[in-house]
Amino acid sequence: MSYNFSDKPTFISALEPAGRVWGREVNLKTNETYQRINGDPVYFTALAPRSFDKAKVTLEYLNPEQSIVELGVEKNAENNFEIKPLENKFINDSDWAYLNEDNNILLQKEKQFDSVGDFLAGIPQDKKIATYHYDLKPEVKIENYTPSNTIQTLDTKLIGTHEFNAYVEDEDLYVEFNFSDLNLKPDDDSIILKVSKGGNEVISEKIEDEDIQDFSKLIELSSLGTGLVKINIITSNDIQINNIKTKQQKFVAKTKVYPAEQENVLLYSDSSDLNFRAWTTSGLQEITVGAYEIAVNKVLKLFTWRETENDKHRQLKELILPKGGLEIIGDGYFAFQENIFFDPYQNIERLQNYSDM
């Protein structure tokens, strides 16, 4: 399959959405047809006669301005993509001190480490660090943290799969989830619950469909020491989390939240890039992100907000949803109360086109 922009799209669609690409143009010198991209991401669809495990893609492009160009494939209908790098001028054109060990590249503006191993063994917390296709997760320690035995109730209703991060410091982990099965579809609505710390799984449990109507699950663990605890709830969109009760002073959702239909949802996030999608008409609404207004006015369409040069980078901001009912995906963390927000890796960010390095 191929598409050269001069013919009518058949098996490979034109680039979309229209607001991020210009119409087709012709280079008068070479007679080549092309499209200019003025925003990202952009998408195209390839119609294959059957399913394939792998795909080889050849892309011819001219990139005069962007630092990073990537290509990805959608892995499922939940907006999960596998992304591969095509070009990274931050790395290719950098004059910083360069180290390469086992294809792990370390660039240092001011040389401090003599090897990648030395850096990983002593990751500085007072330096700005950008990562690119590398999952860097050092130990987490919050200064002047005080544990509490007071139970906080987070009553924002959520739909489906979520990952939560909690901070513990010489205290028990205490988190209770209250679930409901909405029974909108006849599919299996079991819940897989996973809890891990430091890469070690401490709980892996399956709650069967027939055991879920209105159901509460308490997670109470001791002797976890200090650091980040990850709690994964893996389930269908038929399962609603009605509320969360926790003694943890710092508790956030990572990357994605899907507030159920309810009035006046208030969230806090440090994401610099946010995507909103309403799966049904009930999720259509005007959202407030800090000082910005975003109109989500079409079902299934992805609406994007991105911080500008005038915004303070990764500043904590309010997200106000008049009625919930839509999925939010960001590159940071989400809290349901301002006082419990924390970003466990606040000095580490994913390298992007607009990163200030």
Domains of the chain from N-terminus onward:
1-62 (no CATH), 90-131 (no CATH), 144-247 (2.60.120.1310), 250-341 (2.60.120)
pLDDT in the model for residue 177: 97
CA distance 86 to 353: 13
CA distance 184 to 182: 6
Token pair 């058949």 is found at 10
Token pair 């001028």 is found at 89
What value does the mean pLDDT take over residues 147-169?
Answer: 97
β-pair partners for 181: 239
| Confidence band for 352, pLDDT divided at 50, 70 and 90 | confident
Is residue 108 a contact partner of residue 96, using CB atoms and an 8 Å limit? yes
**Residues 6+ positions from 85 with CB-CB distance below 8 Å:** 68, 69, 70, 132, 133
Q: Which residue type occupies 20?
A: R
CB atoms within 10 A of CB 223: 7
Q: Which residue type occupies 332?
A: G
pLDDT in the model for residue 288: 97
Which of 128, 55, 159, 48 has its CA nearest to residue 355?
A: 128
Which of 253, 284, 271 has its CA nearest to residue 314?
A: 271
CA neighbours within 13 Å on the CB side: how many for 347?
A: 12
Q: Are strands 129-131 and 348-350 parallel, antiparallel or unpaired?
A: parallel
What value does the mean pLDDT take over residues 35-57?
Answer: 85
Instruction: Report percent pLDDT > 90 for the chain.
Output: 58
**pLDDT above 60 for 88:** yes
**pLDDT above 90 for 107:** yes
Mean pLDDT over each residue of the chain, to the nearest integer: 90
pLDDT in the model for residue 77: 57
Query: Phi/psi of residue 340, each to 5°?
Result: -100, 0
pLDDT in the model for residue 53: 84
What value does the mean pLDDT take over residues 256-281?
Answer: 95
What value does the mean pLDDT take over residues 291-295?
Answer: 95
pLDDT in the model for residue 79: 57
**pLDDT above 80 for 210:** no
DSSP code for 75: -
CB atoms within 10 A of CB 107: 16
**Residues 6+ positions from 127 with CB-CB distance below 8 Å:** 347
Least confident of 22-31, 218-227, 229-238, 249-258: 22-31
pLDDT in the model for residue 349: 85
What value does the mean pLDDT take over residues 328-357?
Answer: 89
What value does the mean pLDDT take over residues 50-65?
Answer: 86
